[in-house]
Structure 1
Amino acid sequence: MTPTLTALLCLGLCPSLCFLPGTLPRPTVWAEPGSVMPWGTSVTIWCQGSLEAQEYRLLKEGELETWDRQKPLETKDKVKFPITHMADIYAGRYRCDYLSPTGWSEPSDPLELVVVTGREWGKPSLSALPSPVVTSGGNVTLQCASRMGFHRFILMKEGERQPSWTLDSQPAPHGRTQALFPVGPVTPSLSWTFRCYGYYSNTPQVWSDPSDPLELLVSGEKVRLLPHLCFEAPDRLTGTLPPYALLDRSLPTCGHHSAAPTPVLTWGPPCLSCASRMGFHRFILMKEGERQPSWTLDSQPAPHGRTQALFPVGPVTPSLSWTFRCYGYYSNTPQVWSDPSDPLELLVSGVSGKPSLLTQQDTVVTSGQRLTLQCRSDVGYNKFALSKEGAPDLPQRLSRQTQSGLSGATFYLGLVRPSHGGRYKCYGGHNLSSEWSAPSDPLDILLAGQLSYTPSLSVLPGPTVAPGENVTLLCQSRSSVDTFLLSKEGAADPPLRLRSQYRAGQHQAEFPMSPVTSAHGGSYRCYGSASTSPYLLSQPSDPLELLVSGEENRNHCVLESFTGECPQILTHL
């Protein structure tokens, strides 16, 4: 059949299916829900080709072998390649092709699949120069900066799937690197919200966590950026808090901290920080239930291009309600205020019976597990709060659950992510009081597999020891390690921690166990961690089984001697 006749038949009989030999339709490849995915989330790569396709291949740049193969099932013109837990290994550049009766198609255009991971990395900062308020039609420069030494920075505009700009980093003051992105002309008809990322040149598809969002506001439109109300200790800003914050008497405050026996009345006042990027000249603090402003203060410069005012509040006592909102305004329009901040409620912790904080999993968890924490007490509390050290989005409150005379609450934190690592406490309280109990003992949640290296675990003098003898478990790694942790399978106690020592070209820690008892028997693993992120651990070592000799037989004899079936073993003991 001549090419002309073939072409005519295709046009007349099946214009959507026919193609000339050597002209197979090129497939397309895409990712859902997107090509920039947080670490640990699920993503699906789709490849769409032809209804004639018999098989699809997924090809990853840099890999000699086919990454994956799929045969079409329901719809022959496309297949999916699912990734359950996004990780560094899946980041890269992908193409796909398909097999038809006439041969293999050309590969698709590349798909860049990126993993966003915060492991050991700090997110960059994003600011507008000279200001986030831009006149209509004007231009602005966005500065993305970090201390992590990233080689390149990416600027992403909200609502767009592809990077808006990518630039090489440049040296900046104070040991940072930065990139300056020109943006504009800015118009009121579009949204202008940005985030930026950093990455290293040897891993271009592994990005840092995103910066905080930066919204450009076009002058002349209604201002919607709200000031933020947060608890401010004298030496640090804890960030924006949810609609309530827990004031623990162990926290520092802006005023004098008294050690008197009655701390409720003499405790120094906390500070509330009202902050905004809008350059307000003055801030107003309003207490719920009062019609007049509680305080009005001039603004002061704050980090990241913001202005703020610090309002001392107190003395705080449990007998009153302490819920606040704040506003900002410009000095030339003192009667025109911004929208209010989200409400912030101060809750005073007390000295009543502290609850217990437990986890349904081991304290060492891995990504993909579901993390559940339980706060319990023998006191009849009917509300509970969970707090995480250094986290702005906790505490949270749940209704009580009573069982066997105990009150408690279960906190479902979802699938484990690196951000779950940290130190947690919980509190109990009563509905008719704003006072909270003393905090529970802290519970550390540790995430294994967040650092790439795997330490080794060995035992001296050997894995089989007699009761009363001495034994040492040795954890080693050639990678740089600040602290080693030793965990025992099924143990209720948290892992043991020891500072790393550098000897004979390796980092190591020796965990002595002496004298050995039957309680020491079991399966052990060790991990490494860095001082900058102590709750993120390395891959686990291979398990090491420690056997206490004689314990198995002795236990067997005690059990079986009641039935008279162990006389020979008893004589050997």
Structure 2
Amino acid sequence: MEFVLHKAGHPNPQVRTVPHGTVAEFPIPSVSREDGGSYTCDYRSITEPSRWSYPSDPVEIIVAEPSYPKPSISLSPSWGVSLGGDVTVQCWGQHQSVWFVLNKEGRNFSPVDSDGLEAEFPISNVHRDLGGSYSCSYHSRSQPFNVSYPSDPVELVVRDPSLPRPAISLSPTGPFVSSEPSDPVQLVVAEREFLKPTIWVSPSRVVALGGNVTIRCEGQDPGMEFVLRKVGHPNMQVQTVPDGPLAEFPIPSVSREDGGSYTCDYRSITEPSRWSYLSDPVEIIVAEPSYPKPNITLQSRSWGVSLGGAVTIWCRGQRQGVRFVLNKERRRFPPVDSVGLEAEFPISNVSREDGGSYSCSYHSRSEPFAVSYPSDPVELVVRDPGLPRPSISLSPTGVTAPGADVTIRCEGQRRDVRFLLHKAGDLNPQRHMDPAGAGAEFRIPSVSRQHGGSYSCSYRPRSEPFISSEASDPVQLVVAEREFLKPTIWVSPSRVVALGGNITIRCEGQDPGMEFVLRKVGHPNMQMQTVPHGPEAEFPIPSVSREDGGSYTCDYRSITEPSRWSYPSDAVEIIVAEPSYPKPNITLKSRSWGVSLGGAVAIWCRGQRQGVRFVLNKERRRFPPVDSVGLDAEFPISNVSWEHSGSYSCFYHSKSEPFAVSYPSDPVELVEPGVAI
């Protein structure tokens, strides 16, 4: 016969004369894009050239550089089919809406549109010639030159019932012809009893070609043999871990074939019939990122959420209609389809295991290999209310002048922790420190106004870096120049007060329109009071407790120019005690009705105990305590002025036990000549 090869759209056919056989070959060396297209052939008799055959079915040649990963191929039923029976060749890829092509030597199959990711090629009434090796590929419907690599081959073996059955195996008479199967052997299926393991991919389930990933599988107990399985692949990986509950399966230099869905399970080394349940699947996507990385945020303060609370992780990309993937060590999250540009991953009833570093990426729903770069990581820190809160203090206290050195000290109750310093308004911790003891000092040399603000601190156990204590109470760092005169501070009616009594701390400046601040030594929280129309602020303390005792100072700043501060007042001491000593006597060392302006006077206090400390009280004045000489103490006042006139009282307390105090004395009045008091 003389064979003629026709290419659709080309006028010149190729001709081959085959005098002694029935097959003609038309080689195409060094294929170019022009060689792609649809071909048919027919033939005619060499001796009777007017006698022609019907034309063959067409065959399509696609010339392209494969850009899609290879599909998977399988047979149903998978282990063979008898002569005259039916079989289906199934192909599934990783792109939707494509055209699948089935290849076999000596056969031409019509292309099939995919149904989702799959296509089926049914073959009925199987005969011997259908046995052989099959592969498939796919290409885009709209862009035929976007093609996949061919699948691995699968063999269709046709069983011939006329061949005698063996005891258990038979060497077949032809490469694609088989006997009927042997008598069966028993497959023992064990009960699954261990809890399913956790599976995750590190650093991310989306990996670029040539990158490195590790699949980790974690069970509950040591002494296990772990098995990693990939969907569609018969060969599993096995790793024995005698001393721990975690197996690692590294994949160096990732190729497209490494993409897919993985699960793992494990069994006891000593009792290999005892298996765990299968893990949830985890998907590895192998692609060269082509989309920009998304943003990731926590819908709570970034440094933490309390145990049992709720938090939402938000991912925002730059494309709509995509699928977001959230990544975290030891966790698997179902992918979430975007709403607009965003996707939300809510986490309720937060546990310690939820703490850690998260990132996200996204990929096209229709083309899973069109992926983004991963986002920057964000940390979820879980606060444990069971950890004691740290304390915080400033040195020096009060208002700090620019250029001074400041130390912020955080003190906890346990060692082996990391302290973190937080500044209000800054989402991330300012600094961290790993001290040897239970406290840490954060030094700020040469402070400027930018350092001013509210600071707090927290700590994290080094063994649990994403578990945190609650934050300390805040402490205020005020950086400003001092220019106003210091105010006067005093306590009314007395600096010694019984438990449950009422007192008022008064702070008096020079001008109206000020904001007053009352500070207690050793306590970070200050009290503030705005006084727009007068020079004096009152800080009442009702129902006094022992915690109210201590040393207080005050200062103030301008309401209209809050960077202008006063110098701090002298300190005033409040003593909270139930009086147990009798009241002292108080006298003036001059006539009780007065003393001349510019003169001198002494106030004498006499108690009933030796070796005590006397305190003199007067509205708007503070006097240093005086240790007794014998039973007496003297408070001299020289160069008497109008401000010295008024009512005085005194009391005393033990030097070694400040809460062992006397009742206050009766009052005595210092009167200037000619002035009624």
| TM bracket (short chain) | 0.3 to 0.5
Q: Which has the higher contact order (CA 8 A, sep 6+)?
A: 1
* Higher gyration radius (CA): 2
TM-score (norm 1): 0.41
TM-score (norm 2): 0.35
